A and B are shown apart, each in its own frame.
Chain A
Amino acid sequence: MSEVGGLDGAWIEGALLAARPRAVGALLRYFRDLDLAEEAYQDACLRALKTWPAKGPPRDPAAWLILVGRNAALDGLRRRARQQPLPPEEVLSDLDDAEAPLAERLDESQYRDDVLRLLFICCHKDLPNTQQVALALRIVAGLTVPQIARAFLVSEAAMEQRITRAKARVGRANIPFAAPDANERAARLFAVGTMIYLIFNEGYSASDGDYRQRLCADAIRLGRLLLRLFPAEAEVMGLVALMLLQHSRHAARFDAAGEVVLLDEQERTRWDPKLIAEGLALVEKALRHRAPGPYQLQAAIAALHARAARPEDTDWARIDLLYAVLERVQPSPVVTLNRAVAVSKARGPAAALAMVEPLGASLAGYFHFHGLRGALLWQLGRGNEAKTAFDKAIALAHSAAEAAHIRRNLDRLMAGAAAPR
């Protein structure tokens, strides 16, 4: 390989992927049209693939892509303008002064706002979650429509329609392009964080292994990008840490048959130590800020699991404490149910059951409620009540694996075995 160019496919692909949010963000600010910005970026990528291997990489790939993409799109607009009515004034007005605003357009200070605006547009509050995630994967992460469709298990046509609808709604929404003020920025940051976590969860629960990897990796990449933009935001650290720690278990979470392996039964040597190290570093950095939010607390809980070499080494007492804080910060019956698991390990089944019983009204239709309640009753020697709870759980199971897990418990209960602790 030549030393001057030193470019191979992986480098170019990485550079294009890394530059994408900044380049599309800047092109969007310029054209104020998602379709046009995306087309311009793709045009620039094609030119990059032709030019970079021969001439060597540009000093700043994102700036190169922005300039080339902008010029290509303007050329296209000029050509079309000869045959069609003129485009809106705000697009046309910049046609002739290409040089003057150049410095402003490539201004690093705009970088953060461009990327944030791009992410924010994808998580616009008028869009349903599924459309937010689909749009972000298309526009920010650069996945193709067939790739996204496969990840979501829908047809390409349906996904195309979902993305088109999302773009149309965003187009009508009249997004402000001024730089956001501090309050607005905080609100956007929260929305963007939620959207990134949605992408991650979409991947985390995907049945196709390749897509699980790809979506989780993309969400982590976007999370790291957000953290580069806001290096001192504890909740963003918490979000990235949470994703890293959950993703670190990806190789151990499924068995050879593709069935889910529960945390206690996972082969911990297969957890990814590099992702764990990064996750733990971020949790520690975040907690130093003493402003615990839901992502940080969940990440801190995941960190305690990651630190335990064996399931029996898990610090359940501290997990119980962290859940108690999480219950205050973000009260929800599911959080309380999760806390009850830690309580049963740290303080025994009676204390846990007392915590679980009041949740019956809100979680009556929730598989895990009946599963945990059954396990606790079994541990307390209340076999008949345990059986009733397990029966309810099986009826509510979402997958064969969930049902099979409860059925195993039920069989052992009926055979008179002691309850596992």
Chain B
Amino acid sequence: MLYAILCYHEEDVVWSWSKEQDEAVMARLAEVQGPLIAAGKMGPSLRLLPTTAATTLRKSQEPALVMDGPFAETKEQLLGFYVIEVEDLKEALAIARDLASANPGGAYELRPIGLYNPDRRGA
């Protein structure tokens, strides 16, 4: 079963971490990810640049409207995501718990993936 673990967090807080604090969190996350990668359970993991760098294509009119900023104003922003391959939701939740303890605050949304195309560049 493929799941996406979507990482939501307050962007202002995360981008206020100093370089050292940020690196410490990343190092703790890497410890959680290591065994999962070795077990072949972890696919791509991506960290998104701030929503201030985002552009939104809105389809409500023709031609579609290009706007600055994120799709929705929310208190917590989508800051990154993982793709994992697990037996069931229970295992996915266990992984999310481990990630959560390495990276305090925020929330994870676990979303089953219906179709998955691995990296097809150069294919």
Contact = CB atoms under 8 A, between A and B. Distances in A.
A7 interface: yes
Contacts of B75: 60
Contact of A14 (B17, B49, B68): B17
B52 A240 contact: yes
Interface stretch (A77-85, A276-284, A331-339): A276-284
B28 to A, nearest CB: 10
Contacts of B55: 285
Tell me whether chain A's interface is mostly helix, strand or loop, or mixed. Answer: helix
Contact of B53 (A3, A57, A232, A281): A281
A61 to B, nearest CB: 8
B29 interface: no
Contacts of B49: 274, 277-278, 281
14 contacts: A3-B97, A3-B100, A10-B24, A15-B13, A15-B16, A18-B15, A221-B16, A224-B50, A227-B52, A228-B12, A281-B49, A282-B52, A285-B55, A288-B66
Interface string B10-28: 1011111111010011000
* Of B50, B67, B69, B104, most A-chain CB atoms within 10 Å: B104
A411 interface: no
A24 to B, nearest CB: 14
A11 B104 contact: yes
B101 interface: yes
A1 B101 contact: yes
> Nearest 9 CB-CB pairs, A to B?
A231-B69, A18-B12, A10-B21, A281-B53, A17-B16, A6-B104, A227-B52, A18-B16, A14-B13
Contact of B67 (A17, A224, A232): A232
A224 B52 contact: yes
A231 B101 contact: no
Nearest to A281: B53
B68 to A, nearest CB: 5
A14 B53 contact: no
Interface of B: 10, 12-19, 21, 24-25, 49-53, 55, 66-69, 75, 97, 100-101, 104-105
B10 A15 contact: yes
B105 A285 contact: no
Given A227-B52, A232-B69, A274-B49, A7 B18 contact: no
A13 interface: yes
Contacts, number: 77
A227 B11 CA distance: 13
Interface in A113-159: none
Given A231-B68, A232-B68, A10 B17 contact: yes
A11, A224, A237, most chain B CB atoms within 10 A? A11
Nearest to A16: B16
A277 B68 CA distance: 17
Given A60-B75, A228-B52, A14 B14 contact: yes
Contacts of B13: 11, 14-15, 18, 61
A13 B18 CA distance: 10
Given A213-B19, A224-B15, A18 B50 contact: no
A217 interface: yes
Interface string A201-238: 00000000000010001000100110110011000010
A184 interface: no
Contact of B16 (A14, A228, A288): A14
A8 interface: yes
Nearest to A22: B12
A188 B53 CA distance: 23
Nearest to B53: A281
Nearest to A236: B52
A268 B62 CA distance: 43
A10 B20 CA distance: 10
B21 to A, nearest CB: 4
A295 B21 CA distance: 30
A217 B18 contact: yes
